[in-house]
Structure 1
Amino acid sequence: MGSPLLLGPMLRYVDETSASIWVETRADCVVSVHSEGRSWQARSFAVHDHHFALVEVEGLEPGSVSPYVVEIDGTSVWPDPASEYPASVIATRAPGRRSRLAYGSCRTSVNHDRSGNRTHGVDSLRAFALAVADGREARPDLLLFLGDQVYADSTTKEMQAFIRARRDIHEEPGKELKDFEEYAHLYQLAWSDEANRWLLSCVPSAMIFDDHDIRDDWNASLDWKRKMEATTWWHERIVAGLASYWVYQHLGNLSPRERAADEIWQQLSGRHDNASRDLTAALDEFADRCDQDPNSCRWSYSRDLDETRLIVLDSRVARDLSPSARGLLNDRELTWFDSHLQGGFRHVLIATSLPFLLPLGLHHVEAWDEAIAQGAWGRLAAWVGERLRRAFDLEHWAAFQNSFQAVAAMATDLADGARGPSPLTVTFLSGDVHFSYLAEVERQNGSRIVQAVCSPMRNPLPRFLRWFSVVMSYGAATPLGAAAAHSAKVADPPFRWKTVKGPWFDNNLALLQDGPDGLTMTWHTGVVEDGDELHPRLEVVASITVPAKRDSAVSS
């Protein structure tokens, strides 16, 4: 039958004295974590006949590094005695230590052999895991996944084989995911590789969804949503997608205090019998309610990493799609973001799966398309604008001008010191677009405002689409897009920005290091040498320092 441990352990939320360790098990059980003579345990809970546990490890020393083992019902299940990787550890945060963070988005799950690397490129996350295991890279304080960890709508051959074994793949939704069982299998494909599994067992991780976690262009417009709701399969899909996201990703994002306040988690408090620890009905109802009423839930969260504040934004569920108040963040979410966007930190990081600052040409095109889709040029042009939006994924921040203008004003206030002592940088971290770059707002005074994109981790664009992306984002698209936006009476952005570095299209994982000279960002890719597909070398694609001092230039 194999190990009773199906997935994990995954080290999730970690602070100075506590850590959360998540697992999926094959059956109802008690999961225990043991470290340096102490132990902590948790009873599993069930969702759609799958079993999970989250062990809260408490009372640790700040700045400590502690190896740990996992047992299920008293039997050791992690680490595997035959494993070639170092011991898994819990590394708590140390007061005063400046942050080192890794991030990226868009990662498909295919084999790491020659065939998989030929079609999808080398997995940059796996190349990084191997480098950390060998001591060639230090463990970061956090791994931040900015969406599309799983692709529910564009499935691999391995996923399709699982689907065919349980239903007719020629009936809707075809090769796309249908229900929770299929999502559970997709997460197994994503997180079972030994190198990545080891990395996730000893580096804390934080996550947020993007469209492919559910479906391409998820919530691009009210028209898109109504079209999906008219299908026979969408309701089951959205409920399964959000329910599985809560279990596999969101639960571990929460601090112990936030988790204790979570309405689903509260249902487990004090309950030990099997029936009362089945969250299926409650979680499905919650997921359905979140889709229908985004004001009833919150997926965004904020963490303070010593001198750095990290704000992770939900840019999918929290949208307001009503034509009169269209926004990428609804009023409730915008108010929450406003309350967390404060000065007094060395750096403020705003993590949003969609780039806030697109290349200017693409920004103008998306703003123009939103305007005509909203009726600026009449009904026929509105029909065309809606089709263009879906065909070319024109649904980033620029395509939600109300939200873009509001957040741009907030970021400027923060950078100018209107929200407390201004940070050195206000940095937007994003993915989604399948190319990476660094952009900076043109400012003479105050904090730097930058956009750092890392995408994809493993899902490169075909070469002909790379040229299309460059043409759409740069070159003639900039003046033409601006002219089109003006013709549709779109307001100018409150500031200008330019691309400092990029674009490049490699599979990448980015590292962000706060140092005395400023914020250093380094993009890494995996390179196969001498035909050794399973042990790619980690190679630097670009390295850029955003200096701490305003009178210094961005350096490479």
Structure 2
Amino acid sequence: FDEQLDGAVVDDSTSLYAHPASYYQRADLLPALKSNDTLRERFFGGTSKPVFTSSTADNHLVTLAEVVAMYLLVWSPTPWTLIEPGKPHLEADEVERYAREQQLVEDFTAGLEGVARAMAHLPCMMIFDDHDITDDWNLSANWEETAYGHPFSKRIIGNALLAYLLCQGWGNNPDALNDLVRQVHELSAAAVRKDNWLDSTAQDALIDQLLKFQQWHYVLPTSPALVVLDTRTRRWRSESNFNHPSGLLDWEALSELQQELIDHKSAIIVSPAPVFGVKLIEAIQRVFSWCGYPLLVDAENWMAHRGAANVILNIFRHSRTPGNYVILSGDVHYSFVYEILIRQRSGGPHIWQITSSGIKNEFPRRLLDTFDRLNRWLYSPRSPLNWFTKRRLM
């Protein structure tokens, strides 16, 4: 399907695909207005992140068709047999990069048959994090105000969320999402009747619903219970400074989480970002947040927001919540396992934080080793520095 693109340099998706900036220069598709400088930097990765991540958005997906095509192409070898990608018009300095990336894509597609077979034989449950939509998605209230205040960036986010609904979210909790899926079907059916053009008004209305939707999380009735958190769309925004990182869950969402856990003996919690992270790295992120630069270091962790941190820690200490937890996480570009105990309480709870996030885009190994040694020394169980963290009782 094609679509109109309000607020962009191009008018619609067909113009986007034909535009010289369509490859490696998509940030240039934002209007060249002074008021959009912040949007350019935040949404298209203009902010430098020299230590913690190295992300670019030169080819950021924009249209709904692009995002759905991405899902099809990364999960199955079949769509690759139906297309013959042609080499686009490139600037001289982009030719080498294109050739290098083309080889990476070919290596990737060679392994897709095994991926498709694995997904066909295993139940796959998923939850979004920022890179399913865009980098640093909803990191702070200021980020939200900037991104959702521009029709083009709002459409980009909405299209990614629409595709997530169809390709990931629907299978997690069909009963909660059936009405939204029905509306997507109506939108696409209307597009078929209009020469495959999406109705812009209906598309924007559906995106508004998706951005307000509060049932992306889900609980599987297993033993122990498996609770999957949405830590992106129900955030506890900082009221003192809109540039400070938002809490990963707001008060209402945390209250619902506690009710889900009451009277269970054990629980598995899936939190995209670790609840219990590396204290040294969190301290560095805290310093950058104090200075007003949370985007430089992806300063979004459970302890970055006082309210959210206190509530989640109190949930673990509650007398009627489980005595045993396993928390499964990713996001941080490195992997670790922690056993967390509450000081001066021998009866639990016993908490295991398992984080696997080093397969792709891992921290530099030497930097990881340095942080690991410093963290063990500075924040050992008996270190007085622990009393300056929100996890002082753990």
What TM-score does the superposition give when structure 1 sets the normalisation length?
A: 0.48
> Residues 229 and 437 (structure 1 numbering): CA distance in 2 closer, same or farther, change over 3 Å?
same
The AA in structure 2 aligned to 1:395 is: E
Q: 2:220: which partner in 1? A: 303
Residue in structure 2 matched with residue 395 of structure 1 by the alignment: 300
Which SS does the other structure have where 1:299 is aligned?
Answer: coil
Q: Is the 8 A contact 1:366 1:398 kept in 2?
A: no
Shift in Å at residue 303 of structure 1?
Answer: 0.6
Deviations 1:288-337 (A, max 9, x none): 3443xx4x4321111122x2101111111111324259532123322221
2:391 equivalent in structure 1: 493
What amino acid sits opposite 1:300 in the alignment? H
**Shift in Å at residue 482 of structure 1?**
7.8
Q: Corresponding residue for 1:340?
A: 260
Structure that is richer in helix per residue: 2
> What is residue 328 of structure 2 aligned with on the other side?
429
Gaps of 5+ in 1: 1-47, 51-162, 373-383, 497-556
- The aligned counterpart of 1:218 is 137
Contact 1:355 1:429 (C-alpha < 8 Å) held by counterparts: yes
8 Å contact from structure 2 (residues 247, 305) kept in 1: yes
Structure-2 residue corresponding to 1:178: 62
Three-state SS of the structure 2 residue aligned to 1:350 is strand
- Cα separation, partners in 2 of 1:223 and 1:274, compared to 1, 3 Å: closer
2:128 to 204, 209, 213: 209
The question of 1:360 aligning with 2:279 is answered yes
Alignment of 1:462-473 (within 5 A): 462-467=364-369, 469-470=371-372, 473=375
Measured in 1, the distance between the counterparts of 2:123 and 2:313 equals 30
Deviation at 1:250, TM superposition (A): 0.4
The structural deviation recorded for 1:472 is: 7.2
1:274, CA displacement in angstroms?
4.5
Residue of structure 1 equivalent to 2:11: none
What is aligned with 1:312?
228
The CA deviation at 1:463 is 3.6
Give the whole-Å Cα distance in 1 for the aligned partners of 2:371 and 2:147.
27
CA contact (8 A) 2:269 2:325 kept: yes
CA distance 1:282–1:350, change in 2 (3 Å): farther
User: Could you tell me whether the CA contact under 8 Å between 2:214 and 2:233 is conserved in 1?
Assistant: no
Which residue number corresponds to residue 446 of structure 1? 348
Count residues with an aligned counterpart. Answer: 302
Measured in 1, the distance between the counterparts of 2:155 and 2:371 equals 34
Q: 2:141 matched to 1:288?
A: no
Relative to 1, partners in 2 of residues 1:361 and 1:462: Cα closer, same or farther, differing over 3 Å?
Answer: closer
What letter matches 2:157 in structure 1?
I
**1:461 alignment partner, one of 363, 369, 373:** 363
Q: How far, CA to CA, are the matches of 1:220 and 1:485 in structure 2?
A: 26
- Partner of 1:243 in structure 2? 162
Task: Give the Å deviation of 1:340.
Answer: 0.8
Deviations 1:236-274 (A, max 9, x none): 21111111111111001015x444xx43145589x9x94
1:247-258 alignment runs, 5 A limit: 247-255=166-174, 257-258=175-176
Q: How much does 1:194 deviate?
A: 0.9
The aligned residue for residue 36 of structure 1 is none
More strand by share: 1
Work out whether residues 367 and 401 of structure 1, in 8 Å CA contact, stay in contact via their aligned partners in 2.
no
Is 1:408 matched up with 2:313?
A: yes
Return the letter of the residue paired with 1:493.
R
Change (3 A) 1:465 1:494: closer
How many angstroms apart in 2 are the aligned matches of 1:229 and 1:195? 39
1:100-249 matches, within 5 Å, as 168-169=21-22, 170=25, 171-172=28-29, 174-192=58-76, 193-229=112-148, 233-249=152-168
Unaligned residue ranges in structure 2 (runs of 5+): 4-15, 30-43, 45-57, 77-111
- Which of these residues, 250, 267, 270, is aligned with residue 330 of structure 1? 250
In angstroms, what is the RMSD of aligned CA positions?
Answer: 3.6
In structure 2, the partner of 1:13 is none
Q: How many angstroms apart in 2 are the aligned matches of 1:188 and 1:229?
A: 27
Q: Residues 357, 268 of structure 1: CA spacing in aligned structure 2 closer, same or farther, 3 A cutoff?
A: closer
Residues 181/274 of structure 1: CA separation in 2 closer, same or farther (3 Å cut)? closer
